[in-house]
Chains A and B, each alone.
Chain A
Amino acid sequence: MSDHHPTGFSRWLFTTNHKDIGSMYLIFSFAMFLTGGFMAMVIRAELMYPGLQLIDPNFFNQMTTTHGLIMVFGAVMPAFVGLANWMIPMMIGAPDMALPRMNNWSFWILPFAFAILIGSIVVAAFGGGSAPNFGWTFYAPLSTKYGPPSTDFFIFSVHLMGISSIMGAINVIVTIFNMRAPGMTFMRMPLFVWTWLITAFLLIAVMPVLAGAVTMMLMDRHFGTSFFDAAGGGDPVLFQHVFWFFGHPEVYIMILPSFGIISAILPTFARKPLFGYPSMVYATASIAFLSFVVWAHHMFTVGLPLAGNLFFMYMTMLIAVPTGVKVFNWVATMWQGSMTFEVPMLFSIAFVVLFTIGGLSGLMLAITPADQQYQDSYFVVAHFHYVLVSGAIFGIMAGVYYWLPKWTGVMFNETLAKAHFWCSLVMVNLLFFPMHFVGLAGMQRRIPDYPLQFADLNFWISIGGFGFGLSQLLLLAVVWQACIQRKGKKATAQVWESAEGLEWTLPSPAPYHSFSTPPFIKAATH
């Protein structure tokens, strides 16, 4: 099997290979993670002490806005698509993704989309106007009538991201439906494939809604419509309904693939099959379904009628049931196992603990009367960073460490990786745990300055922020050693002692084309 491909830059520009595209997604995502992280550190530097020391409030708002957008659309989502590209064909016994040219296109849209977004912040940093400054949720009319001129670039950029995501999702669905090896029935698929399949349907359902929201913004801004302007018969709250109808499924888009990664890693290092595979699949599907009927829990203070508040409170609480099932299944998978604690396992255990903490604070937020105090406070900031950073991103890191030897053919530097894990774990908690308490005490989100009672905790939160940001350079070092320098002992095909699944039947590093001849699956490998 020869690997015919152009060399140099055109290899990457014209590639239709799922591994090349997966790598590009992952590299892009890591670059965005560092960019968004740098913005977070600017935010934390300003918030280290009360008063305005470094940046003015308008630039602060631009930082929070672009930090959120870059992390959500640039870091977390492309990382999952990168992992899907690499792993789904290898997990289901396929040679490549089903739609390779579209795959190339959906990646190459992203650098342009983010160049447009980041361009406006770079220009703003050097004194040219203002980048988007209305928060990543871009509520109207702050983003329509009151938005800076760069809002139009932002709208174009979101459109491009949406097109890219939808194409990626279509590719995943077509691949999974059509390219499974003989014997790979749906209920034999690894959970990472299942969770991605469900995520892809969520993406196709909600990305057009986001596109609709930004298009309505564009119309309101330039073409005289009044979707979100009461003066013309519209309603600013309509924007929030449309946005959160996208936004709530979106947060599950950012966590479900991590559920799949954790469900792959825990059985390997516990040397025991995953507990309750069918209920894991059904729980994922239930979470996805419920995600469409809980959106207004982000809007408990906009003045919804009583019946609306009650409905969304009950539905939101209900999500705790399937989520609980998942956590219990993971614990039951570890129970009576024969565990070892390699780096992917450490990240997975941290995921289960910290994601559960984030889930439990989510349950508190569901209680509408108490949410009158939690809404828009740092308690919310703490909640969604627990589920997204120590949840989604720890899941991604667990997956990267789990599959890195398969990708590179060498074992990564375990000492450095463990240092990365422990530094990240301590710092992420120093960063986000105290946020619960400043939030409960009354510090609101998205402020560049705060009353003096919050000064002590904010100082330590900032220390945690710098520490967590700098810890990620260790990840860069580990990946650099493994991918570029190829340092480390040679990895076997199975890599981990009891890893099971089709990807571990291929040699390490995995060949350029995965399964040219489909394997035959006689029994479930999960």
Chain B
Amino acid sequence: MRRGVPSTAVPRFFSPYLASSTHANHASSWATPALLKKAFSFTGSRLFLSGVILFAVFFSSSNVLFSSIASAQSYDMPQGVTEISQQEFALHRMMFWCCVAIGIGVFSVMFYSILKHRKSQGHKAAQFHESTTVEIIWTAVPFLILIAMAIPATKTLIQMKDSSEAALTIKVTGSQWKWQYSYLEYKANNTIDLDYLSVLSTPREQFETPLRAAGLFPLGVASYTGERKSAPKNSDYLLEVDKPVVIPTGKKVRFLITSNDVIHAWWVADFGIKQDAIPGFINETWTKVPVGKEGIYRGKCAELCGKDHGYMPIVVKAVSESEFDQWLADSQAAQKKAKADAANSVDAVMSKDELMTLGEKEYLAKCSACHQANGQGLPPTFPALKGSLIASKPEGLATHINHVRNGINMMPAFKDILSPKVMAAIITYERNAWGNDTDQLVQPKDVVKDAQ
């Protein structure tokens, strides 16, 4: 997860330590020459010894790795900006160091024994095989340690569950593969009308970069080639969206999380929030970003939700309360105007060029994740539109309109998501692209109600 302050530098910590000679120095300090000599004399096995050295090199290089990442924090859990995320981080650190201490304790005894209690050193085996006292101690002591760990964890958990008295309530709806944010209530005003989708904005040519034209496996990616060129990846690759969700700092924000199709999970590590979005049920969680921590926070879907699970990031923009008030008023006004424009444009008659241009743009943004840019889909889950009975035959028009409006099988209903103008443009594009030359134009008024 990236920090709140946007940064273009991508941390590269690992490679230097494997490429340089650092690990060799560490290996020799870990196993001193005297010890090595001794080990060699009593094992007499070159293979065993070289194995030990190999492993020591490996583990000491991971120690170097860990110390570098512990200081840079780029490969540790983010501390985050909220009280909850910082408590989670503190619990994580406490557990981590307890586990390291337990591990060092147990493994030191074991490796001491491995070095000293070996037959080649002439050590004679003792024959003891039980000790009630010792066994009671090593049952009781871990139990007490666990109680000590459970107390702070319980406190944090109770606090996490308290979503009462929130200033702002936002409904978050996951669907394959986008997030929808609906602002429901702000400062006891429940007449807010603001609702929008948030989708990945990294261009597809940055991640669809098949190694060879045909692809290794004759599926999916192979069909993208020829139409697309790969592009260099930008620094927020796969962590950027078209419209972030905006929240005010210094206010408690309640999120009501649900889903339209499969289970997703809304995860923003800097807030310490991961909450599953479950179709048909509403989960609650909350956050409060402190004043002074305004910035961009990035997250992603954490629960496998189908093909593009890796491509539905979350971006939260935390702004000051006054800036938020202004943004909320502006956004509501803009949405109201857009709805009015859409209503007015229902009667507009568009030319084929207008429809095709708008249609291609909107198709690539809204439809191509499933039906693919070339219209060939990924059958059988995502059917092809190119040459299909519905999209390429004139008599399929009514069915085509109804499927887009109401959805079918896994396809969601678009009638409340897209304006009539956009739906008309997409349907026209689908009926005239990729050799589907029906030459039928669909106008906004044709899609305001189900076709007969």
B167 contacts chain A at the CB level, 8 A cutoff: no
- Chain A neighbourhood of B408, CB < 8 A: none
Question: Contact check: which of B129, B220, B306 meets A274 at CB < 8 Å?
Answer: B129
Q: Is the CB of A135 within 8 A of B304?
A: yes
- Min CB distance, A56 to chain B, in Å? 3
Interface size on A, residues (CB 8 A): 117
- Chain B neighbourhood of A433, CB < 8 A: 62
Q: Is the CB of B142 within 8 A of A320?
A: yes
B123 contacts chain A at the CB level, 8 A cutoff: yes
Per DSSP, are chain A's interface residues mostly helix, strand or loop, or mixed?
helix
B235 contacts chain A at the CB level, 8 A cutoff: yes
Say which one of A69-77, A106-114, A157-165, A449-457 lies at the interface with B: A449-457
Q: In chain B between 362 and 408, which residues have their CB closer than 8 angstroms to a CB of chain A? A: 378-381
B207 contacts chain A at the CB level, 8 A cutoff: yes
Q: Is the CB of A426 within 8 A of B58?
A: yes
Q: In chain A between 188 and 217, which residues have their CB closer than 8 angstroms to a CB of chain B? A: none
Say which one of B112-120, B322-330, B425-433 lies at the interface with A: B112-120
- Min CB distance, A163 to chain B, in Å? 28
Say which one of B30-38, B72-80, B352-360, B434-442 lies at the interface with A: B72-80
Known: A276-B129, A446-B309, A453-B74. A331 touches B110 (CB 8 A): yes
For the complex, give the distance between the alpha carbons of A302 and B77 in Å.
21
Q: Is the CB of B280 within 8 A of A127?
A: no
Q: Contact mask B181-207 → A, CB, 8 Å, 1/0? A: 000000000000000000000000011
A493 contacts chain B at the CB level, 8 A cutoff: no
For the complex, give the distance between the alpha carbons of A59 and B222 in Å.
12
Q: Contact mask A325-365 → B, CB, 8 Å, 1/0? A: 10110011011111111000000010011001100110110
B5 contacts chain A at the CB level, 8 A cutoff: no
Q: In chain A between 222 and 244, which residues have their CB closer than 8 angstroms to a CB of chain B? A: 229-231, 235-237
Q: Contact mask B303-336 → A, CB, 8 Å, 1/0? A: 1111111110000000000000000000000000
Known: A54-B215, A55-B215, A325-B138. A367 touches B149 (CB 8 A): yes
Q: Is the CB of A325 within 8 A of B307?
A: no
Binding site for B on A (CB under 8 A): 50-59, 61, 124-127, 129-130, 133-135, 139, 141-142, 145-146, 148-149, 229-231, 235-237, 270-279, 301-303, 306, 309-310, 313-314, 317-318, 320-321, 324-325, 327-328, 331-332, 334-341, 349, 352-353, 356-357, 360-361, 363-364, 367-370, 372-373, 375-377, 415, 418-419, 421-422, 425-426, 429-430, 433-434, 437-438, 440-442, 444-453, 455-457, 460
Apart from A302-B278, A337-B126, A360-B103, what are 9 other A-B pairs with CB-CB below 8 Å?
A52-B208, A133-B306, A145-B410, A146-B306, A272-B126, A370-B91, A373-B77, A373-B269, A376-B302
5 pairs from A and B in contact (CB 8 Å cutoff): A59-B219, A313-B153, A336-B128, A338-B119, A375-B274
Binding site for A on B (CB under 8 A): 1-2, 10-15, 18, 43, 47-48, 50-51, 54-55, 58-59, 62, 65-66, 69, 74-78, 84, 87-88, 91-92, 95-96, 99, 102-103, 106-107, 109-110, 113-114, 117-120, 123-130, 134-135, 138-139, 142-143, 146, 149-150, 153-154, 156-158, 160-161, 206-211, 215-222, 230, 233, 235-239, 261-263, 265, 267, 269, 272-276, 278-281, 283-284, 300-311, 378-381, 410
